[in-house]
Structure 1
Amino acid sequence: MPTKRYILSFIFFLLISPVFSTEYNASFFGIKSNGTTLNTTSIQKAVNFISEQGGGTLKFYVGRYLTGTIVLKPNVTIHLEEGAVLVGSTNIYDYNIDTPNCALIYGKGVDNIAIKGKGVIDGQGREVAYHLMDQIHNGILADPLDYDRPRNRRPKAIYLRECSNVRIEGITIRNAADWVQTYDQCEDMVVDGITVDSKEFWNNDGIDIVDCKNFKLLNSFIDSADDAICLKSHDASKRCENVEIRNCVARSSANGIKFGTVSAGGYKNIRIINNKVYDTFRSAFTIATPDGGMVEDILVDSLHAYNTGNPLYLRIGARWNNGRQGTINQVVIQNMYVEVAAEKPDAGYSYEGPIEDNPRNISPSGIVGLEGQPIRNVTLRNLEFVYPGGGNPNYAYRGTTQEELAAIPEMADAYPEFSQFKELPAWGFYIRHVEGIIFDNVKLRAKANEYRPALVLDDVNGYDVSGLTVEEGTNKRKKQIFVQNSKK
């Protein structure tokens, strides 16, 4: 018969043993925090075990935990306490490089998962990318090396596909070798209060939201070497739907908040509210649909941007659309304030945006459809855009005669970017192939005199510019609105 002491000891064991609790310390599985021991197998064993027990939390305390790819399993939370760092291996063969989207943390088709805490995920992206390049140059791995950077096998920090009920909270993510984090066809997902600091290699999109449904990005800071916050659509049968981006700050040597570039399916019911963008080489906000995607019901409210290359760019194209026609319809942009930089706004980034792609004079905001394929129903309300002005016709010139406007190419199959047309004939807004646009309390201000008008409308049907005011340097009586081939 068990003694009283035996019973008390057994009860104490039950209380402290992680096997019988929902929280498991990483050290219980032999996971080392010394920064040199490769923990991939031990961490994976822990994740598998917790999932098999019905779920729980794997907790990492202060230390550096070196690892390759970790594959998430259902009902598992990874919790990184303050001072805990998951460190990506610099050996490319420690990652799942035989999958299309290799990553340090990977999950496909798993539900009820989370990554939380005040700790850090450090991908060591530059170092692992250089090791990958060595393997390519030595002929061990094959890769086209676009612009002398690997096209394939660069590990992301996080890649999740077809996952549901996901939470990413509080963590800091640093230095991926590719897109920092990609959430692909995920549903019912919240990313809240995270920090991204990733400028160590090419294509460091801060966060990519791909064909997701019921997705929230909240209260986060994104500083990245490529587009900071990016919605994409890779599958023509899917789309991003019911997405909210709120209370975030973005810094980027590309675009601040962007839809595209890949846009096969489209975007519906997207709410972008109370965000800030700064030091951004390209546009503060962009919608691009060059691949047949349908864009509808978009609200941008209270976006403030400082030291940016361009305020706003909406664009329909025909690049990889396979005969399908992309659309942009029902877009409301309101309560937006932007200051455009006179100099290069991303100067000092490890990977700056390429100045050779830019025109010589400052570009206007653009809302540009295609001939016979207009952007429809755009409302601009309570906007103030401040430009440096100073466009110089002797430096580079684009006029407003019918012949000069007709000479601006359609560029339907080009990569969609505000700078794609090079010189444009307006300093504030260039609007072409649009049906239904309203300016309601919109103020355009150029600090120095310009040779161009503030606004050019070309092939626009159904416009109201009565709510537009313009200030330009010392010019007081200059004609600031130029209309061609358009009607109210």
Structure 2
Amino acid sequence: MTCLYLCLSVIHVFAQTKEHGRTGEFNILDFGATRDTMMVHTKAINEAIESCYRQGGGRVVIPPGKFKTGTIFLKDNVELHLDNGACLYASEDYADFPIQPRAVYRSLKDTGGWSALIYAVGARNIAVTGKGVIDGRGKGRKGRVGGVPGDADGRPRNILFISCKGVRISGISMRNSALWNQHYLDCEDVIVEHIHVFNHCNGNNDGIDIDGCRRFILSDSVIDSDDDGIVLKSTGLAPCEDVVINNCIVSSFANAIKCGTESTGGYKNIVISNCIVKPSCNKGDRIIKSTPSGITAISLEVVDGGIMDGVSIDNIVIEGTECPLYVRLANRGRKYIDEAPVPPIGKMRNIQISNVTAYDTGNFCSSITGIPGGEIENIYLSNVRFLNKGGLVAGNCRTANDMQGKRHDTAGNVFRNQYWSSHREVKEDEKGYPQPTVWGNLPSYGLFIRNVRSIAVDNATFQSEKPDPRIPVIAVNVGNLSLDRIQVNDISSAGVLLDNVRTADVDRRLRKSGK
């Protein structure tokens, strides 16, 4: 209730000021903007925002038409409203997007400075609303800051808000960002609702990045992205905390709904519900080296320190993707800034995943894995149905040499028709990139569990469309395991492989110990 109350107060601020006539409308045409698409209207738009801000706030209106612009600086108590038929689109000249200095709040991604179409730092009560379009025109844009990772190389985001409080994004469509589409960093009391994102024109084309934010609601939106779709990150010391994601349709060639990879500040009290994951509407070429149907539907990752505590995922339908569920605690240990200490192994605990249906998925196999010295605690799966494609040929197995020198943050290296014959061949890879492309097809087809302190799976179906020679469930180095009401392909021959499971309560029809 506290989260909902605080976020709804954002809407109340704007509604109240309009109701009592304390704000006006500031049309950019009154500040020198025209519908001449040869002109750049950055100055006019920013002057309208400045005038609105100095008069106590209000609404800056982008009327119907196409308006080319560079960086727009949003200020306190200003609502940027895009009328139906309005399109803000990015100038092709990088001079119109000056690199912004690092903010007080430090983050892994500020290495090359910041760049964005709509930008704010430390602003209060701001909004971007309407039925218009924001177009980043990012196709073919190259980075302009050398020596830094791809997602910090100076390409502009469509929206970037840092350390802002009281934010509302409602109704707009966003497309063609040169980098991440929208990035909310260290923000509080944020509502993003009824948006439509199509982001397939450049590398690192995430749909939305919720990064170290508190009290954040994302709802009733459609997101289709080349890279990760809905992403929770913690690229600095602030946690992602009290976050609700509800009623969204997500498509991604990479990871549809994801916490990670960065985890420095951790994640606490995350609720994800009533969402659909489905293949992308983009029929053109993929920018990143991924999979046609996506790599994962749901990914929960802690690999750079931090604590994930209190996650509820409920009522999800998944069509396609190679892997329905990927839960990973590892020890990449990347520092968020050079002068920071190396983070210790993080923690993952108190995770509940329920009422998930996945069909037409690939053969990577869902997995829940920690590492020695870093075990996942208290994870519970209930009412899940995973139906993979199957069709692998018995004995067509991979070898340990297959993983040597491979890049695992993309899917191009995957041995699609082969699988690992034994869990002992599946290396820990605790320093590697956290993604199921590290392993490809695991020796199980339903669920692979390793280095987990306590896990319960109740009322689950793991089945294949075509015959699959692998074991349904493998559990390795597990403290307390409960498997109840489990359905698999062939109950007469299949089972659960248990290796170093200290306490096990397993459906008798499935139990099959082995090494």
Q: TM-score range by the shorter chain?
A: 0.7 to 0.9
Other-structure match for 2:378: 377
- Write the letter of the residue equivalent to 1:269: N
Distance 1:393 1:384, change over 3 A: same
* Corresponding residue of 2:346: 326
**Which amino acid letter does the alignment assign opposite residue 143 of structure 1?**
G
Scaled by the length of structure 1, what TM-score is found? Answer: 0.85
The question of 1:111 aligning with 2:111 is answered no
| Distance in 1 between residues matched to 2:372 and 2:151, nearest whole Å | 37
Instruction: Quote the residue 1:35 is aligned against.
Output: 37
Matches within 5 A, 1:317-466: 317-321=330-334, 322-342=342-362, 362-397=363-398, 404-466=422-484
Which runs of 5 or more residues in structure 2 are unaligned?
1-20, 102-112, 280-292, 335-341, 401-420, 504-515
Alignment-mate amino acid for residue 182 of structure 2: Q
Q: How does 1:262-341 map to 2 (within 5 A)?
A: 262-279=262-279, 280-321=293-334, 322-341=342-361
Partner of 1:353: none
Q: Distance in 2 between matches of 1:272 and 1:180?
A: 21
Equivalent in the alignment of 1:483: 498
Distance 2:460 2:227 in 1: 29
Equivalent residue number for residue 254 of structure 1: 254
Match of 1:93 among 92, 95, 116: 95
Give deviations 1:40-59, integer Å, cap 9, x for gaps. Answer: 11111111111011001011
Change (3 A) 1:479 1:60: same
The corresponding residue for 1:346 is none
Instruction: Indicate if the aligned counterparts of 2:64 and 2:84 stay in contact, CA closer than 8 A.
Output: yes
Q: Which moved more, 1:299-308 or 1:476-485?
A: 476-485
| Structure 1 gap ranges (5+) | 1-18, 134-140, 343-361
Mapped to 1, the partners of 2:475 and 2:268 lie a distance apart of 27
Structure 1 Cα separation of the partners of residues 240 and 453 of structure 2: 24
Does the aligned pair in 1 maintain the 2:324–2:361 contact within 8 Å? no
CA distance in 2: counterparts of 1:259 and 1:372, whole angstroms: 21
Matched, 1:242 2:245: no
Amino acid of the structure 2 residue aligned with 1:210: D
Conserved? CA contact 1:376–1:435, under 8 Å: yes
Question: 2:333·2:345 contact (CA, 8 Å) conserved in 1?
Answer: no
Displacement of 1:151 in angstroms is 5.2
For residues 22 and 357 of structure 2, the distance between their equivalents in structure 1, rounded to whole angstroms, comes to 54
Whether the aligned pair in 1 keeps the contact of 2:365 and 2:444 (CA below 8 Å) is: yes
Listed as ranges, the matches of 1:181-260 within 5 Å are 181-235=182-236, 237-260=237-260
1:142 to partner: Cα distance: 5.2
Aligned mates of 2:154, 2:220 — CA distance in 1: 31
Distance between the aligned counterparts of 2:235 and 2:151, measured in 1?
21
> Residues of 1 paired with 2:151 and 2:315: CA distance?
38
Deviation, 1:323, is: 4.2
Identity %: 34
Q: SS where residue 308 of structure 1 aligns?
A: coil
Shift of residue 436, structure 1, vs aligned partner: 1.1
Q: Which amino acid aligns with 1:192?
A: E
Aligned counterpart, 1:350: none
Residue type of the alignment partner of 2:129 = K
The question of whether the paired residues in 2 share the 8 Å contact of 1:35 and 1:63 is answered with no
- Counterparts of 1:83 and 1:26 in 2: how far apart (Å)? 15
Aligned pair in 2 of structure 1 residues 263, 21: CA closer, same or farther (>3 Å)?
closer
Task: Check whether the contact 1:432–1:458 (CA below 8 A) recurs between aligned residues.
Answer: yes
- What whole-Å deviation, never above 9, does each CA across 1:348-370 have from its counterpart, x for those lacking one? xxxxxxxxxxxxxx211010001
- State the AA in 1 paired with 2:97: Y
Question: How far apart are 1:397 and its partner, in Å?
Answer: 4.4
Instruction: Measure the CA separation in 1 of the matches of 2:498 and 2:22.
Output: 73
Kindly provide the CA deviation profile for residues 209-233 of structure 1, in whole angstroms up to 9, marking residues without a partner as x. Answer: 0000000000000001110000000
Q: Deviations over 1:391-420 (max 9, x none)?
A: 224432489xxx943332111110000121
Structure 2 CA distance for partners of 1:404 and 1:389, relative to 1, 3 Å: closer
SS where residue 38 of structure 1 aligns? coil
- 1:125 aligns to 2:138 (yes or no): yes
SS at match of 2:437: coil
What code does the residue aligned with 1:406 have?
R
Distance 1:307 1:406, change over 3 A: closer
Amino acid at match of 1:462: N
- Preserved contact between residue 23 and residue 57 of structure 2 (Cα < 8 Å): no
Name the CA distance, whole Å, in 2 between partners of 1:259 and 1:239. Answer: 12
Q: 1:254-311: per-residue Cα shift (whole Å, max 9, x none)?
A: 0110000111111000000100101141110001111002001000010111011110
Query: What is the alpha-carbon distance in structure 2 between the residues aligned to residue 37 and residue 314 of structure 1?
Result: 49
